[in-house]
Structure 1
Amino acid sequence: MNITQQVDGEQAMLWNGSAGRAWVESQAVLDQMFKPFEDLLAEAVNVRSVLRVLDVGCGTGSTMLTVARLLGAKGRCIGIDISAPMLAAAQAQAEREGAPASFICADAQIHAFEPASFDTIISRFGVMFFDDSVRAFANLRCAAKSGAELRFIAWRSAEENPFMTTAERAAAPLLPNMPTRAPNAPGQFAFADQHRVHRILEESGWADIDIQPIDVACTFPEQELIRYLSQLGPLGRVLHQADEPTRTEVIETVRAAFDPYVDGAEVRFNAACWMVVARAP
Protein backbone atom coordinates (compact mmCIF):
# COMPACT_ATOMS: atom_id res chain seq x y z
CA MET A 1 0.00 0.00 0.00
CA ASN A 2 1.22 3.47 -0.80
CA ILE A 3 0.41 6.33 1.52
CA THR A 4 0.52 9.93 0.37
CA GLN A 5 0.75 12.65 2.97
CA GLN A 6 1.10 16.40 2.55
CA VAL A 7 4.67 17.58 2.98
CA ASP A 8 5.60 21.21 3.41
CA GLY A 9 8.69 23.32 3.91
CA GLU A 10 11.80 24.31 2.01
CA GLN A 11 13.19 20.80 1.68
CA ALA A 12 9.86 19.48 0.40
CA MET A 13 9.70 22.22 -2.22
CA LEU A 14 13.28 21.49 -3.30
CA TRP A 15 12.91 17.71 -3.58
CA ASN A 16 9.50 17.88 -5.23
CA GLY A 17 10.87 20.41 -7.71
CA SER A 18 14.12 20.75 -9.62
CA ALA A 19 16.29 18.68 -7.28
CA GLY A 20 13.93 15.71 -7.26
CA ARG A 21 13.50 15.77 -11.03
CA ALA A 22 17.28 15.99 -11.52
CA TRP A 23 17.85 12.93 -9.33
CA VAL A 24 15.27 10.94 -11.29
CA GLU A 25 16.87 11.94 -14.59
CA SER A 26 20.31 10.99 -13.26
CA GLN A 27 19.15 7.90 -11.39
CA ALA A 28 21.33 5.39 -13.26
CA VAL A 29 24.58 7.26 -12.77
CA LEU A 30 23.82 8.09 -9.12
CA ASP A 31 22.91 4.48 -8.36
CA GLN A 32 26.23 3.39 -9.87
CA MET A 33 28.15 6.06 -7.98
CA PHE A 34 26.65 5.18 -4.60
CA LYS A 35 26.39 1.40 -5.02
CA PRO A 36 29.28 0.76 -2.57
CA PHE A 37 27.20 2.40 0.17
CA GLU A 38 24.13 0.45 -0.84
CA ASP A 39 26.14 -2.76 -0.52
CA LEU A 40 27.44 -1.79 2.93
CA LEU A 41 23.92 -1.23 4.22
CA ALA A 42 22.45 -4.32 2.59
CA GLU A 43 25.23 -6.56 3.89
CA ALA A 44 24.52 -5.43 7.45
CA VAL A 45 20.85 -6.44 7.38
CA ASN A 46 20.37 -9.74 9.19
CA VAL A 47 18.07 -11.49 6.74
CA ARG A 48 17.49 -14.38 9.17
CA SER A 49 15.80 -12.26 11.80
CA VAL A 50 14.58 -9.13 10.01
CA LEU A 51 11.06 -9.00 8.62
CA ARG A 52 10.31 -5.28 8.27
CA VAL A 53 12.80 -2.66 7.12
CA LEU A 54 12.28 1.08 6.87
CA ASP A 55 14.46 3.06 4.45
CA VAL A 56 14.47 6.76 5.42
CA GLY A 57 14.95 9.18 2.55
CA CYS A 58 14.78 6.22 0.16
CA GLY A 59 14.79 8.42 -2.95
CA THR A 60 14.51 6.41 -6.14
CA GLY A 61 14.64 3.21 -4.12
CA SER A 62 17.87 1.46 -5.08
CA THR A 63 18.96 0.58 -1.54
CA MET A 64 15.58 -0.60 -0.29
CA LEU A 65 15.00 -2.72 -3.39
CA THR A 66 18.38 -4.39 -2.86
CA VAL A 67 17.34 -5.20 0.71
CA ALA A 68 13.93 -6.39 -0.50
CA ARG A 69 15.62 -8.86 -2.84
CA LEU A 70 17.65 -10.22 0.06
CA LEU A 71 14.63 -10.60 2.34
CA GLY A 72 12.47 -12.22 -0.28
CA ALA A 73 8.81 -13.00 0.28
CA LYS A 74 9.18 -13.32 4.06
CA GLY A 75 10.14 -9.67 4.49
CA ARG A 76 8.74 -6.26 3.76
CA CYS A 77 10.58 -3.04 2.93
CA ILE A 78 8.97 0.36 3.27
CA GLY A 79 10.56 3.50 1.91
CA ILE A 80 9.72 7.00 3.09
CA ASP A 81 10.68 10.20 1.30
CA ILE A 82 9.34 13.69 0.80
CA SER A 83 9.95 13.61 -2.96
CA ALA A 84 6.99 12.44 -5.00
CA PRO A 85 8.98 12.31 -8.28
CA MET A 86 11.66 10.12 -6.73
CA LEU A 87 9.12 7.82 -5.08
CA ALA A 88 7.28 7.43 -8.39
CA ALA A 89 10.52 6.17 -9.94
CA ALA A 90 11.08 3.83 -7.00
CA GLN A 91 7.56 2.46 -7.16
CA ALA A 92 7.82 1.85 -10.89
CA GLN A 93 11.00 -0.15 -10.40
CA ALA A 94 9.46 -2.14 -7.53
CA GLU A 95 6.45 -2.99 -9.69
CA ARG A 96 8.69 -4.12 -12.55
CA GLU A 97 10.52 -6.45 -10.16
CA GLY A 98 7.49 -7.54 -8.19
CA ALA A 99 9.43 -6.57 -5.07
CA PRO A 100 7.77 -6.72 -1.61
CA ALA A 101 8.08 -2.98 -1.10
CA SER A 102 5.80 -0.03 -0.46
CA PHE A 103 6.31 3.70 -0.19
CA ILE A 104 5.23 6.60 1.96
CA CYS A 105 5.39 10.16 0.61
CA ALA A 106 5.80 12.02 3.89
CA ASP A 107 8.24 13.69 6.26
CA ALA A 108 9.75 11.02 8.53
CA GLN A 109 10.13 13.72 11.18
CA ILE A 110 6.38 13.86 11.78
CA HIS A 111 4.81 10.88 10.02
CA ALA A 112 2.61 8.74 12.26
CA PHE A 113 4.33 5.38 11.89
CA GLU A 114 2.82 2.30 13.46
CA PRO A 115 4.58 2.09 16.84
CA ALA A 116 7.28 -0.57 17.30
CA SER A 117 6.79 -1.89 13.78
CA PHE A 118 10.30 -2.10 12.27
CA ASP A 119 13.13 -4.54 12.92
CA THR A 120 15.70 -2.37 11.13
CA ILE A 121 15.86 1.25 9.97
CA ILE A 122 18.39 2.19 7.31
CA SER A 123 19.31 5.24 5.28
CA ARG A 124 21.80 6.09 2.56
CA PHE A 125 22.32 9.85 2.67
CA GLY A 126 18.68 10.44 3.60
CA VAL A 127 18.69 11.70 7.18
CA MET A 128 20.60 15.00 6.93
CA PHE A 129 17.64 17.10 5.77
CA PHE A 130 15.39 17.31 8.83
CA ASP A 131 14.43 20.70 10.27
CA ASP A 132 14.50 19.18 13.75
CA SER A 133 16.78 16.14 13.83
CA VAL A 134 16.10 15.25 17.47
CA ARG A 135 12.36 15.18 16.82
CA ALA A 136 12.90 13.13 13.67
CA PHE A 137 15.05 10.46 15.30
CA ALA A 138 12.72 10.30 18.30
CA ASN A 139 9.89 9.61 15.87
CA LEU A 140 11.94 6.89 14.18
CA ARG A 141 12.77 5.37 17.58
CA CYS A 142 9.05 5.09 18.33
CA ALA A 143 8.63 3.27 15.02
CA ALA A 144 11.39 0.78 15.92
CA LYS A 145 10.84 -2.44 17.83
CA SER A 146 12.71 -2.93 21.08
CA GLY A 147 16.28 -3.81 20.16
CA ALA A 148 15.87 -2.74 16.53
CA GLU A 149 18.94 -1.44 14.75
CA LEU A 150 19.30 1.98 13.19
CA ARG A 151 22.06 2.12 10.58
CA PHE A 152 22.73 5.05 8.28
CA ILE A 153 25.46 6.62 6.19
CA ALA A 154 25.98 10.38 6.16
CA TRP A 155 28.64 12.66 4.71
CA ARG A 156 31.49 13.96 6.81
CA SER A 157 32.62 17.53 6.20
CA ALA A 158 32.80 19.47 2.96
CA GLU A 159 36.54 19.88 3.54
CA GLU A 160 36.93 16.10 3.53
CA ASN A 161 34.80 15.81 0.37
CA PRO A 162 36.28 18.30 -2.11
CA PHE A 163 34.75 16.46 -5.07
CA MET A 164 31.28 17.25 -3.78
CA THR A 165 31.91 21.01 -3.74
CA THR A 166 34.07 21.31 -6.88
CA ALA A 167 31.22 22.52 -9.09
CA GLU A 168 29.98 25.27 -6.80
CA ARG A 169 33.49 26.49 -5.96
CA ALA A 170 34.46 26.71 -9.63
CA ALA A 171 31.18 28.37 -10.65
CA ALA A 172 30.90 30.87 -7.80
CA PRO A 173 32.95 33.66 -9.48
CA LEU A 174 30.66 33.48 -12.50
CA LEU A 175 27.33 33.07 -10.70
CA PRO A 176 26.78 35.59 -7.88
CA ASN A 177 23.48 33.92 -6.96
CA MET A 178 25.17 30.62 -6.10
CA PRO A 179 23.65 29.44 -2.79
CA THR A 180 26.00 28.99 0.15
CA ARG A 181 25.99 26.12 2.62
CA ALA A 182 25.33 27.04 6.25
CA PRO A 183 27.01 24.86 8.91
CA ASN A 184 24.63 22.35 10.52
CA ALA A 185 21.74 23.49 8.31
CA PRO A 186 19.61 20.78 6.67
CA GLY A 187 21.54 19.50 3.69
CA GLN A 188 24.33 17.27 2.50
CA PHE A 189 26.86 18.11 5.23
CA ALA A 190 24.47 18.64 8.14
CA PHE A 191 25.95 15.63 9.97
CA ALA A 192 29.60 16.52 9.44
CA ASP A 193 30.15 16.95 13.19
CA GLN A 194 30.43 13.52 14.78
CA HIS A 195 29.74 14.85 18.27
CA ARG A 196 26.59 16.61 17.09
CA VAL A 197 25.32 13.38 15.51
CA HIS A 198 25.96 11.49 18.75
CA ARG A 199 24.11 14.15 20.75
CA ILE A 200 21.12 14.07 18.38
CA LEU A 201 20.79 10.31 18.69
CA GLU A 202 21.29 10.33 22.44
CA GLU A 203 18.70 13.06 22.97
CA SER A 204 16.20 11.24 20.75
CA GLY A 205 16.43 8.08 22.84
CA TRP A 206 18.76 5.79 20.90
CA ALA A 207 21.34 3.65 22.68
CA ASP A 208 24.61 1.82 21.89
CA ILE A 209 25.58 4.61 19.49
CA ASP A 210 28.61 3.88 17.32
CA ILE A 211 29.92 6.35 14.73
CA GLN A 212 32.81 5.26 12.54
CA PRO A 213 34.49 7.06 9.61
CA ILE A 214 34.40 5.23 6.30
CA ASP A 215 36.20 6.25 3.11
CA VAL A 216 34.76 4.76 -0.03
CA ALA A 217 36.04 4.87 -3.61
CA CYS A 218 33.29 5.90 -6.02
CA THR A 219 33.23 5.92 -9.82
CA PHE A 220 30.95 6.80 -12.69
CA PRO A 221 31.42 7.21 -16.46
CA GLU A 222 33.21 10.36 -17.63
CA GLN A 223 30.57 10.76 -20.34
CA GLU A 224 28.05 11.50 -17.57
CA LEU A 225 30.15 14.24 -15.96
CA ILE A 226 28.58 17.20 -17.77
CA ARG A 227 25.11 16.00 -16.80
CA TYR A 228 26.26 15.49 -13.21
CA LEU A 229 27.87 18.90 -12.75
CA SER A 230 25.17 20.88 -14.59
CA GLN A 231 22.03 19.30 -13.10
CA LEU A 232 22.80 18.33 -9.51
CA GLY A 233 23.71 20.16 -6.33
CA PRO A 234 23.71 23.94 -5.78
CA LEU A 235 24.97 24.60 -9.30
CA GLY A 236 22.21 22.55 -10.86
CA ARG A 237 19.61 24.60 -8.97
CA VAL A 238 20.80 27.96 -10.34
CA LEU A 239 22.43 27.24 -13.70
CA HIS A 240 19.11 27.24 -15.57
CA GLN A 241 18.66 30.89 -14.55
CA ALA A 242 21.78 31.99 -16.45
CA ASP A 243 21.77 33.22 -20.05
CA GLU A 244 23.23 30.92 -22.68
CA PRO A 245 26.71 32.54 -22.93
CA THR A 246 27.10 32.47 -19.14
CA ARG A 247 25.83 28.92 -18.97
CA THR A 248 28.35 27.81 -21.60
CA GLU A 249 31.21 29.55 -19.79
CA VAL A 250 30.21 28.07 -16.44
CA ILE A 251 30.02 24.53 -17.78
CA GLU A 252 33.42 24.84 -19.48
CA THR A 253 34.99 26.29 -16.33
CA VAL A 254 33.47 23.72 -14.01
CA ARG A 255 34.29 20.80 -16.30
CA ALA A 256 37.95 21.84 -16.29
CA ALA A 257 37.88 21.94 -12.47
CA PHE A 258 36.96 18.23 -12.45
CA ASP A 259 40.03 17.22 -14.47
CA PRO A 260 41.90 15.90 -11.39
CA TYR A 261 39.13 13.35 -10.88
CA VAL A 262 39.02 12.06 -14.46
CA ASP A 263 40.89 8.84 -15.18
CA GLY A 264 40.36 7.83 -18.78
CA ALA A 265 36.72 6.90 -19.27
CA GLU A 266 35.90 7.15 -15.57
CA VAL A 267 35.44 9.76 -12.89
CA ARG A 268 36.94 8.62 -9.59
CA PHE A 269 36.72 10.21 -6.16
CA ASN A 270 36.86 9.36 -2.49
CA ALA A 271 33.72 9.77 -0.39
CA ALA A 272 34.39 10.57 3.27
CA CYS A 273 31.40 9.51 5.34
CA TRP A 274 30.15 8.27 8.70
CA MET A 275 28.71 4.84 9.28
CA VAL A 276 26.34 5.37 12.19
CA VAL A 277 24.79 2.51 14.14
CA ALA A 278 22.46 2.70 17.14
CA ARG A 279 19.88 0.53 18.83
CA ALA A 280 16.38 1.11 20.15
CA PRO A 281 16.51 0.41 23.91
Structure 2
Amino acid sequence: MQSANYEQAEFWGKSENGAKWLTYEDQLDHALAPVLDLVLDRAGLSGGQSVLDIGCGTGVSTLSAAGQVGAEGRILAVDISQPFLDRAAARSAEAGQSNISFQHADAQTFEFPPAQMDATISRFGVMFFSDSVAAFVNIAKALRLGGQMTFAAWGPLADNPWFRVPHVAAVSRLGQPPRVDRYAPGPLAFHDIDHVTGMMAKAGLSDIQAEAVPVGLASVDGADGTATLCTRVGPAARVIDHFEGDEQDVQAIQSTVAEEFRQFQTGADLYIPAVINLFQARRSE
Protein backbone atom coordinates (compact mmCIF):
# COMPACT_ATOMS: atom_id res chain seq x y z
CA MET A 1 0.00 0.00 0.00
CA GLN A 2 1.32 3.45 -0.92
CA SER A 3 2.16 5.69 2.01
CA ALA A 4 -0.27 8.51 2.83
CA ASN A 5 2.81 10.71 2.62
CA TYR A 6 4.27 9.18 -0.53
CA GLU A 7 5.72 12.45 -1.83
CA GLN A 8 7.55 13.01 1.45
CA ALA A 9 8.86 9.44 1.38
CA GLU A 10 10.18 10.01 -2.14
CA PHE A 11 11.76 13.34 -1.25
CA TRP A 12 13.51 12.27 1.95
CA GLY A 13 14.32 8.74 0.85
CA LYS A 14 15.26 9.07 -2.81
CA SER A 15 15.78 12.67 -3.95
CA GLU A 16 19.11 14.45 -4.22
CA ASN A 17 17.89 17.29 -1.99
CA GLY A 18 16.73 14.87 0.70
CA ALA A 19 20.07 13.07 0.57
CA LYS A 20 21.87 16.33 1.37
CA TRP A 21 20.76 15.90 4.98
CA LEU A 22 23.07 12.89 5.04
CA THR A 23 25.89 14.78 3.34
CA TYR A 24 25.69 17.66 5.82
CA GLU A 25 24.78 15.59 8.88
CA ASP A 26 27.52 16.90 11.17
CA GLN A 27 26.98 20.54 10.23
CA LEU A 28 23.21 20.30 10.66
CA ASP A 29 23.50 18.53 14.00
CA HIS A 30 25.81 21.32 15.17
CA ALA A 31 23.70 24.20 13.90
CA LEU A 32 20.41 22.77 15.20
CA ALA A 33 21.73 21.55 18.56
CA PRO A 34 19.91 24.34 20.47
CA VAL A 35 16.60 23.07 19.08
CA LEU A 36 17.25 19.52 20.25
CA ASP A 37 18.33 20.86 23.65
CA LEU A 38 15.01 22.72 23.85
CA VAL A 39 12.98 19.60 23.03
CA LEU A 40 14.80 17.40 25.53
CA ASP A 41 14.71 20.03 28.25
CA ARG A 42 10.94 20.43 27.91
CA ALA A 43 10.30 16.70 27.52
CA GLY A 44 11.98 15.98 30.87
CA LEU A 45 12.79 12.37 30.03
CA SER A 46 13.93 10.17 32.90
CA GLY A 47 15.55 6.81 33.48
CA GLY A 48 13.55 3.74 32.49
CA GLN A 49 11.09 5.50 30.20
CA SER A 50 9.97 4.24 26.80
CA VAL A 51 10.17 7.00 24.19
CA LEU A 52 8.99 7.31 20.60
CA ASP A 53 11.17 9.55 18.40
CA ILE A 54 9.17 10.74 15.38
CA GLY A 55 11.15 11.73 12.30
CA CYS A 56 14.42 10.69 13.90
CA GLY A 57 16.47 11.54 10.81
CA THR A 58 20.07 10.39 11.10
CA GLY A 59 19.74 9.74 14.81
CA VAL A 60 21.12 12.62 16.86
CA SER A 61 17.84 13.04 18.75
CA THR A 62 17.54 9.29 19.24
CA LEU A 63 21.01 8.94 20.71
CA SER A 64 20.49 11.88 23.05
CA ALA A 65 17.16 10.50 24.26
CA ALA A 66 18.68 7.04 24.74
CA GLY A 67 21.29 8.54 27.00
CA GLN A 68 18.63 10.20 29.12
CA VAL A 69 16.44 7.12 29.64
CA GLY A 70 19.44 4.91 30.35
CA ALA A 71 19.90 1.19 29.94
CA GLU A 72 16.56 0.45 31.61
CA GLY A 73 14.70 2.64 29.13
CA ARG A 74 14.09 2.16 25.43
CA ILE A 75 13.73 4.28 22.33
CA LEU A 76 11.71 3.47 19.21
CA ALA A 77 13.04 5.68 16.40
CA VAL A 78 10.80 6.17 13.39
CA ASP A 79 11.44 7.81 10.04
CA ILE A 80 9.93 7.71 6.57
CA SER A 81 13.43 7.63 5.00
CA GLN A 82 15.24 4.30 4.97
CA PRO A 83 18.63 5.91 4.21
CA PHE A 84 18.23 8.11 7.29
CA LEU A 85 17.35 5.10 9.42
CA ASP A 86 20.32 3.15 8.10
CA ARG A 87 22.62 5.98 9.12
CA ALA A 88 20.91 6.36 12.51
CA ALA A 89 21.29 2.62 13.16
CA ALA A 90 24.98 2.79 12.25
CA ARG A 91 25.51 5.69 14.64
CA SER A 92 23.69 3.77 17.37
CA ALA A 93 25.92 0.74 16.83
CA GLU A 94 29.05 2.93 16.86
CA ALA A 95 27.92 4.42 20.19
CA GLY A 96 27.23 0.97 21.65
CA GLN A 97 23.59 1.80 22.37
CA SER A 98 21.52 -1.34 22.90
CA ASN A 99 18.26 0.28 23.99
CA ILE A 100 17.23 1.62 20.57
CA SER A 101 15.11 0.03 17.86
CA PHE A 102 14.37 1.49 14.45
CA GLN A 103 11.22 1.43 12.36
CA HIS A 104 10.84 2.50 8.73
CA ALA A 105 7.31 3.87 8.75
CA ASP A 106 4.88 6.66 8.00
CA ALA A 107 3.97 7.78 11.53
CA GLN A 108 0.61 9.07 10.26
CA THR A 109 -0.64 5.56 9.51
CA PHE A 110 1.73 3.00 11.05
CA GLU A 111 0.09 0.70 13.60
CA PHE A 112 2.23 1.31 16.65
CA PRO A 113 1.82 -1.10 19.58
CA PRO A 114 -0.88 0.64 21.62
CA ALA A 115 -0.21 2.38 24.93
CA GLN A 116 3.43 1.32 25.18
CA MET A 117 5.23 4.66 25.28
CA ASP A 118 5.71 7.13 28.11
CA ALA A 119 6.66 10.00 25.84
CA THR A 120 6.99 11.08 22.24
CA ILE A 121 9.58 13.57 21.01
CA SER A 122 10.35 15.15 17.67
CA ARG A 123 12.85 17.72 16.44
CA PHE A 124 11.46 18.99 13.15
CA GLY A 125 9.84 15.65 12.27
CA VAL A 126 6.11 16.43 12.40
CA MET A 127 5.56 19.19 9.83
CA PHE A 128 5.32 16.92 6.82
CA PHE A 129 2.10 14.96 7.30
CA SER A 130 -0.65 15.15 4.68
CA ASP A 131 -3.20 14.97 7.52
CA SER A 132 -1.73 16.27 10.76
CA VAL A 133 -4.86 15.58 12.80
CA ALA A 134 -4.81 11.93 11.75
CA ALA A 135 -1.09 11.79 12.53
CA PHE A 136 -1.59 13.21 16.02
CA VAL A 137 -4.38 10.72 16.68
CA ASN A 138 -2.23 7.84 15.51
CA ILE A 139 0.89 8.87 17.43
CA ALA A 140 -1.16 9.42 20.59
CA LYS A 141 -2.35 5.80 20.44
CA ALA A 142 1.22 4.72 21.07
CA LEU A 143 1.28 6.67 24.35
CA ARG A 144 0.13 5.41 27.70
CA LEU A 145 -2.68 7.43 29.28
CA GLY A 146 -1.15 10.69 30.42
CA GLY A 147 1.87 10.19 28.19
CA GLN A 148 3.29 13.40 26.80
CA MET A 149 4.36 14.43 23.32
CA THR A 150 6.91 17.22 22.86
CA PHE A 151 7.87 18.52 19.46
CA ALA A 152 9.62 21.47 17.86
CA ALA A 153 8.78 23.16 14.57
CA TRP A 154 10.01 26.27 12.78
CA GLY A 155 8.21 29.49 13.58
CA PRO A 156 7.28 32.06 10.89
CA LEU A 157 9.62 32.61 7.97
CA ALA A 158 10.05 36.29 8.88
CA ASP A 159 11.47 35.28 12.28
CA ASN A 160 13.93 32.74 10.92
CA PRO A 161 16.80 34.22 8.89
CA TRP A 162 18.30 30.74 8.55
CA PHE A 163 15.49 30.05 6.06
CA ARG A 164 14.40 33.55 5.01
CA VAL A 165 17.73 35.05 3.94
CA PRO A 166 18.73 32.17 1.61
CA HIS A 167 15.19 31.96 0.21
CA VAL A 168 15.10 35.69 -0.60
CA ALA A 169 18.58 35.53 -2.14
CA ALA A 170 17.65 32.55 -4.30
CA VAL A 171 14.38 34.12 -5.47
CA SER A 172 16.15 37.41 -6.24
CA ARG A 173 18.69 35.57 -8.35
CA LEU A 174 16.49 33.00 -10.10
CA GLY A 175 12.85 33.99 -9.74
CA GLN A 176 9.80 33.05 -7.69
CA PRO A 177 8.79 29.38 -7.98
CA PRO A 178 5.08 28.46 -7.91
CA ARG A 179 3.62 29.41 -4.55
CA VAL A 180 2.24 26.69 -2.31
CA ASP A 181 -0.31 26.70 0.50
CA ARG A 182 1.43 28.17 3.55
CA TYR A 183 0.08 25.23 5.58
CA ALA A 184 1.14 22.58 3.07
CA PRO A 185 3.45 19.84 4.36
CA GLY A 186 6.96 21.22 4.62
CA PRO A 187 9.50 22.77 7.00
CA LEU A 188 7.34 25.83 7.78
CA ALA A 189 3.93 24.15 7.89
CA PHE A 190 3.63 24.62 11.67
CA HIS A 191 4.60 28.31 11.72
CA ASP A 192 1.16 29.33 13.03
CA ILE A 193 0.83 28.25 16.66
CA ASP A 194 -2.94 28.68 16.82
CA HIS A 195 -3.40 26.59 13.69
CA VAL A 196 -1.35 23.75 15.15
CA THR A 197 -2.92 23.79 18.61
CA GLY A 198 -6.32 23.72 16.89
CA MET A 199 -5.32 20.51 15.10
CA MET A 200 -4.00 19.06 18.35
CA ALA A 201 -7.31 19.80 20.07
CA LYS A 202 -9.21 18.27 17.17
CA ALA A 203 -7.09 15.15 17.59
CA GLY A 204 -8.34 14.83 21.18
CA LEU A 205 -5.11 15.74 22.92
CA SER A 206 -5.23 17.42 26.31
CA ASP A 207 -3.10 19.80 28.36
CA ILE A 208 -2.00 21.46 25.12
CA GLN A 209 0.80 23.98 25.53
CA ALA A 210 2.61 26.00 22.89
CA GLU A 211 5.28 28.66 22.97
CA ALA A 212 7.38 30.58 20.46
CA VAL A 213 10.91 30.25 21.83
CA PRO A 214 13.81 32.43 20.63
CA VAL A 215 17.08 30.52 20.17
CA GLY A 216 20.42 31.13 18.53
CA LEU A 217 21.50 28.63 15.89
CA ALA A 218 25.21 27.93 15.98
CA SER A 219 27.24 28.97 12.96
CA VAL A 220 29.17 26.45 10.91
CA ASP A 221 32.60 27.87 10.08
CA GLY A 222 31.40 31.46 10.33
CA ALA A 223 29.16 33.37 7.95
CA ASP A 224 30.58 31.75 4.82
CA GLY A 225 30.23 28.19 6.07
CA THR A 226 26.74 28.80 7.42
CA ALA A 227 25.70 30.41 4.14
CA THR A 228 26.94 27.37 2.25
CA LEU A 229 24.99 25.01 4.52
CA CYS A 230 21.63 26.76 4.45
CA THR A 231 21.88 27.36 0.69
CA ARG A 232 22.47 23.67 0.04
CA VAL A 233 19.49 22.52 2.14
CA GLY A 234 16.08 24.06 2.80
CA PRO A 235 13.96 26.49 0.74
CA ALA A 236 16.89 28.00 -1.18
CA ALA A 237 17.93 24.57 -2.39
CA ARG A 238 14.42 23.95 -3.66
CA VAL A 239 14.40 27.25 -5.57
CA ILE A 240 17.78 26.43 -7.10
CA ASP A 241 16.56 22.96 -8.04
CA HIS A 242 13.32 24.28 -9.55
CA PHE A 243 15.13 26.73 -11.84
CA GLU A 244 18.03 24.35 -12.49
CA GLY A 245 20.48 26.90 -11.15
CA ASP A 246 24.13 26.32 -11.99
CA GLU A 247 27.21 26.58 -9.80
CA GLN A 248 27.60 30.25 -10.65
CA ASP A 249 24.08 30.86 -9.33
CA VAL A 250 24.82 28.88 -6.19
CA GLN A 251 27.99 30.83 -5.50
CA ALA A 252 26.25 34.16 -6.04
CA ILE A 253 23.43 33.20 -3.68
CA GLN A 254 25.87 31.99 -1.03
CA SER A 255 27.82 35.23 -1.25
CA THR A 256 24.67 37.28 -0.70
CA VAL A 257 23.63 35.11 2.23
CA ALA A 258 27.06 35.29 3.87
CA GLU A 259 27.01 39.07 3.67
CA GLU A 260 23.57 39.18 5.31
CA PHE A 261 24.64 36.76 8.03
CA ARG A 262 27.61 38.90 9.05
CA GLN A 263 25.22 41.26 10.83
CA PHE A 264 24.81 38.52 13.46
CA GLN A 265 28.53 38.41 14.23
CA THR A 266 29.47 39.39 17.78
CA GLY A 267 33.21 39.25 18.28
CA ALA A 268 34.31 35.72 17.47
CA ASP A 269 30.77 34.34 17.79
CA LEU A 270 28.05 34.10 15.19
CA TYR A 271 24.59 32.84 16.03
CA ILE A 272 21.65 33.04 13.66
CA PRO A 273 18.53 34.17 15.56
CA ALA A 274 15.58 31.82 15.25
CA VAL A 275 12.09 31.35 16.63
CA ILE A 276 11.09 27.78 17.34
CA ASN A 277 7.51 26.77 18.05
CA LEU A 278 7.55 24.28 20.93
CA PHE A 279 4.41 22.18 21.42
CA GLN A 280 3.39 19.77 24.16
CA ALA A 281 0.25 17.77 24.87
CA ARG A 282 -0.91 14.60 26.59
CA ARG A 283 -2.99 11.58 25.72
CA SER A 284 -6.07 11.71 27.89
CA GLU A 285 -8.16 8.79 26.64
**Match of 1:115, SS?**
coil
Task: Determine the structure 1 residue equivalent to 2:79.
Answer: 81
1:55-93 Cα offsets, whole Å, 9 max, x none, are 111111111211101212101111111122222221110
**Alpha-carbon distance change, 264 to 21 in structure 1, aligned in 2, over 3 angstroms:** farther
Report deviation, 1:168. Answer: 1.3
CA RMSD of aligned residues (A): 2.1
Task: Determine the structure 1 residue equivalent to 2:190.
Answer: 191
Q: Aligned letter for 1:9? A: Y
CA distance in 2, matches of 1:266, 1:126: 29
Task: Determine the structure 1 residue equivalent to 2:231.
Answer: 230
Task: Determine the structure 2 residue equivalent to 1:32.
Answer: 30
- Please list, as runs of the form range in 1=range in 2, the aligned pairs for 1:1-281 lying within 5 A after superposition: 7=3, 9-16=6-13, 17-43=15-41, 44-48=43-47, 50-99=48-97, 100-176=99-175, 178=177, 180=179, 182-221=181-220, 222=222, 224-239=225-240, 241-263=244-266, 266-281=269-284
Specify every segment of 5 or more residues in structure 1 that has no aligned partner in the other structure, as ranges: none
**Match of 2:225, SS?**
helix
**Alpha-carbon distance change, 252 to 269 in structure 1, aligned in 2, over 3 angstroms:** closer
Report deviation, 1:211. Answer: 0.9
Report deviation, 1:206. Answer: 0.7
Further displaced range: 161-170 or 89-98: 161-170
**Match of 1:109, SS?**
coil
CA distance in 2, matches of 1:244, 1:164: 20
Provide the identity percentage. 35
- The answer to whether the 8 A contact 2:122-2:152 is kept is yes
- The answer to whether the 8 A contact 1:61-1:87 is kept is yes
TM-score normalised according to structure 2 size: 0.89
**Match of 2:129, SS?**
coil
1:16-69 Cα offsets, whole Å, 9 max, x none, are 122331111111111111212222332333314x52100111111111211101
- The answer to whether the 8 A contact 1:178-1:234 is kept is no
Further displaced range: 182-191 or 108-117: 182-191
Specify every segment of 5 or more residues in structure 2 that has no aligned partner in the other structure, as ranges: none
**Alpha-carbon distance change, 212 to 254 in structure 1, aligned in 2, over 3 angstroms:** closer
**Match of 1:91, SS?**
helix
Report deviation, 1:266. Answer: 4.7
CA distance in 2, matches of 1:51, 1:6: 33
**Match of 2:84, SS?**
helix
- The answer to whether the 8 A contact 1:79-1:103 is kept is yes
**Alpha-carbon distance change, 104 to 40 in structure 1, aligned in 2, over 3 angstroms:** same
